[in-house]
Chain A
Amino acid sequence: MSEAQQPLAVQKVQEQYPDAILDVSDARGELTITVRKDVIYELMAFLKNDSELAYNFLADVTAVDYSLMEDVLMKYDYARFMVIYHLLSTEKKERLRVKVPVHEKALSIPSMTSIWKVANWLERETYDMFGITFEEHPDLRRILMPDDYEGHPLRKDYPLRGRGERETFNFEQQNA
């Protein structure tokens, strides 16, 4: 893909943040960019505030544990997790998926709550399921699992049937 054919979002991000983009892929018209973690907060703010892009709606925040996928691990310097943002521009009718490799050694990423308020609960869910810390999140607690739950169940090394929590869960301390 030559420089001129790149989608507008890729062009503008490359202009603004050279070397930030690690990979661009297009699956049936759905654009995905993989970017470095160190500029992610500024980059996301740029995607929202730029008048030509205007990704004003954060549709979802989630993560993927790639620990069983050797080819993906090799590509991104053995970063175990990938935090994924789904963006939508209600004005331009454009969608964009932003993926950020996150190493297990530095398991944190800046919170997007000050850009999109909706990121609050979405990031709490990602924290709950994967144990990824969102820096400067106003209220980083578990959202789906009980407060005293141990472990992060969507990690690939977590057993499907759990570690016996469903028999030994705390009956009293819950806000029943």
Chain B
Amino acid sequence: MGLESQLGDNIFTTTIDKFVNWGRKNSLWPMPFGTACCAIEMMATLASKFDLSRFGAEAIRFSPRQSDLLIVSGRISIKMMPVLKKIYDQMPDPKWVISMGACASTGGVFDTYTLVQGVDGFIPVDIYIPGCPPRPEDLIDAVIQIQRIVEQESVSPKRRRGAIAS
């Protein structure tokens, strides 16, 4: 028996914001940008042992135009950064970004001529995950934190969370 049979002719009242955010946060569509070993941990997170689908974010598509969560997992070189920026720009609003691991967040141990020292210099990042590479639990935690950020969104442009300039 479904829940609706208990409701009878009753109705629920809620706000549009809460209703939309509830939908958004439980069906995040991640765009994986895996360039290094962090991507392996990301794959493990998606696989059956850790199972990111428990949090509604399992529909990985390599299509930025159908995604709302960018997971940058790995080193980003100065040649790759324009590609990442282009992918970020293609994602429709509202969108969120996870910077996974030390390299994506700060350049990590690769303090060299060719590596971008943190993607936040070029795209806005919502959640940073420390670790080299982080455990799948860390990525799950980051997704849950993204869900908390999504809860504070609003469909009204006036009440939008401080929109980050791109």
Contact = CB atoms under 8 A, between A and B. Distances in A.
Interface of A: 144-146, 153, 158-163, 165-167, 169, 171-172, 174, 176
Interface stretch (B17-25, B79-87, B95-103, B147-155): B79-87
Contacts of A172: 82
Contacts of A159: 113
A174 B83 CA distance: 9
Name the residue among B78, B85, B86, B112 with the largest chain A CB count within 10 angstroms: B78
B114 A176 contact: no
B77 to A, nearest CB: 9
B115 interface: yes
A161 B113 contact: yes
Contacts of B137: none
B36 to A, nearest CB: 16
7 contacts: A146-B78, A160-B111, A161-B112, A166-B78, A171-B82, A171-B85, A172-B82
Interface residues of B, number: 15
Interface of B: 78-79, 81-83, 85-86, 111-117, 121
Contact of B78 (A158, A160, A169): A169
B71 to A, nearest CB: 19
Contacts, number: 42
Contact of A165 (B78, B83, B85): B78
A159 B112 CA distance: 9
A166 B85 contact: no
B82 A162 contact: no
Given A160-B112, A161-B111, A161-B112, A166 B117 contact: yes
Contacts of B117: 166
A146 B116 CA distance: 13
Contacts of A166: 78, 113-117
A174 B78 CA distance: 10
A122 B152 CA distance: 52
A158 to B, nearest CB: 7
A163 B78 CA distance: 13
Contacts of B111: 160-161
Contacts of B85: 171, 176
A165 B113 contact: yes
Contacts of B86: 176
By Cβ-Cβ distance, the 8 closest A-B pairs, closest first, are A162-B113, A176-B82, A169-B78, A174-B82, A176-B86, A176-B83, A146-B79, A153-B113
Contact of A158 (B81, B113, B115, B121): B113
